[in-house]
Structure 1
């Protein structure tokens, strides 16, 4: 690709984090997401993305982007391009951990501030045609709000190509995040002054040689991860034809597990996170998962 035409894809998490490092980009996107006027957003302070553990054995939580809005509301923004089977459970884990992590010992519950999870997904989570979903804690029959302190927003990018939607600023942002071509992104930038700021930031970081190397390494790791997972099962299926279904499935399973563990290590995931992914992906017992981890995990 001609270096003059190269531009990062906003939905690659490295690029998304770089975009959200800009206060004006954060302001515009959060305003569109929460249906606020940009001037209502006084501040969007970036917070540490590692969620505190109360106990050493607690599962670690690492967010993509964590923002404190107007000095009180906390927002977790996650860009996910690889299909994640337990996304709802994962998002609830991070949201509840972020909410509970606000209180120190001895503090009262009235100190707790609103927490919002935002999931921008490159896969479809729901059957409905809407690309944007917003969730609160409601009473089922009366639709009475139990508390406004927990909130979830989901954007499903693949639906943009399949359905038509009324024009909104949030739709422009979703299309921008889903954009892959420089001309397309440039046209989308004309729709809103803050999307324009995001495009300008995107052009700047795409021209940075060091950031481009980081981006391409991350994009390759994501691509390899996806290919490894699918090819592991394909190999198992082909071997099943040749050597017998049961043997082929077993060998394919082992290859798939090995490939997943290697891919997780390449992505820099911890032993604990990789263990959890293997357990969930292949529906193994805890004992079998430990044995596979012992067999395929490469100690540094």
Structure 2
């Protein structure tokens, strides 16, 4: 997890912010909606012309608001809803997390009692800086299909996973538009500049990340977000190590249960939400809430 991509200062006057930082990723596409539309059109198998922000959580977070949601929720000209995220850290329940986010996005269309026919397609897109799926290709699209003949049950559910570590590029002139975008997200400054020379869209992207990287407030928040994510990861690792140690020492079901309780309390004390704790454990949200309530009542 790197916030700034550092290059020779004799060549580059500006240190570019890293687009794999979720705050930078979000800020970049909020400020450049036309680039967001271009990026989405390289991923989807249909073309969109609008991508309007639809969630109040899309406001750029303040430096002390470290729990702001860093995903982008947009609505197309046809009413399709798309959620886009940059993710740096994985966990065992990541696929289930994706399904939960998709389900909530789809269900929130029905806040006015719409008929089923008026519901629109909901699409979840995850860009990961880690390997998630047991396959070599960086691009994956999931739908509900018949396992016998591949018939699509409904086009309303689409999940996309784009795994940056699996992107293998040797020649810039031989890559497609999506590969150019993904490489731009993960590459160093020299490669970004080379991409900018190959494409007018990438030149606009280069200009935008340069502008963003020269804004002191954006740099400050990006660094704050970086340190927060690092600290959170360390706290989670410490809590899990403590839990494993307790479980090993007890060697019984009681010990394993106590270990999980310790992990839950430690994660909660670190500011992790109840929902995220439940997603990362085998406990229900209700049980997690009860454990926390018993501890602090």
TM-score range for the pair, normalised by the shorter chain length: 0.7 to 0.9
Q: Secondary structure at the match of 2:140?
A: strand
Q: TM-score normalized by structure 1? A: 0.76
Which residue of structure 1 lines up, in the alignment, with residue 228 of structure 2?
221
User: Which whole-Å deviations, capped at 9, do the CAs of 1:198-217 have from their partners, x for residues lacking one?
Assistant: 22211111110011111111
Which residue of structure 2 lines up, in the alignment, with residue 9 of structure 1?
18
Deviation at 1:276, TM superposition (A): 3.0
Q: Secondary structure at the match of 1:143?
A: coil
Q: Distance in 2 between matches of 1:221 and 1:294?
A: 28
Which residue of structure 1 lines up, in the alignment, with residue 62 of structure 2?
none
Deviation at 1:182, TM superposition (A): 2.1
Which residue of structure 1 lines up, in the alignment, with residue 150 of structure 2?
143
- 1:25 matched to 2:35? The reply is yes
Deviation at 1:253, TM superposition (A): 6.8
Q: C-alpha root-mean-square deviation of aligned residues, in Å? A: 3.6
Q: Secondary structure at the match of 2:17?
A: coil
Deviation at 1:72, TM superposition (A): 2.1
For residues 195 and 252 of structure 1, do their structure 2 counterparts lie closer, same or farther at Cα, with a shift above 3 Å needed?
Answer: farther
Q: Secondary structure at the match of 1:76?
A: strand
Q: Distance in 1 between matches of 2:158 and 2:105?
A: 12
Higher alpha-carbon deviation: 154-163 or 108-117: 154-163
- Structure 2: gaps spanning 5 or more residues: 1-5, 59-67
- 1:116 matched to 2:126? The reply is no
Residues 93 and 280 of structure 2 are in contact (CA less than 8 Å); yes or no, is this contact kept in structure 1?
no
Q: Distance in 2 between matches of 1:89 and 1:279?
A: 11
Q: Secondary structure at the match of 1:118?
A: strand
Which residue of structure 1 lines up, in the alignment, with residue 291 of structure 2?
291
Higher alpha-carbon deviation: 72-81 or 95-104: 95-104
Q: Secondary structure at the match of 2:206?
A: helix
Which residue of structure 1 lines up, in the alignment, with residue 61 of structure 2?
none
Residues 139 and 145 of structure 1 are in contact (CA less than 8 Å); yes or no, is this contact kept in structure 2?
yes
Q: Secondary structure at the match of 2:213?
A: helix
Which residue of structure 1 lines up, in the alignment, with residue 163 of structure 2?
156
Q: Paired residue for 1:246, among 244, 249, 253?
A: 249
Equivalenced residues, count: 272
Deviation at 1:130, TM superposition (A): 0.6
Q: Distance in 1 between matches of 2:34 and 2:114?
A: 34
For residues 233 and 91 of structure 1, do their structure 2 counterparts lie closer, same or farther at Cα, with a shift above 3 Å needed?
Answer: closer
Q: TM-score normalized by structure 2? A: 0.76
- Structure 1: gaps spanning 5 or more residues: 52-60
User: Which whole-Å deviations, capped at 9, do the CAs of 1:7-50 have from their partners, x for residues lacking one?
Assistant: 111111101111111112112101111255xxx54222121155
Residues 27 and 44 of structure 1 are in contact (CA less than 8 Å); yes or no, is this contact kept in structure 2?
yes
Deviation at 1:91, TM superposition (A): 1.6
Q: Secondary structure at the match of 2:109?
A: coil
Which residue of structure 2 lines up, in the alignment, with residue 204 of structure 1?
211
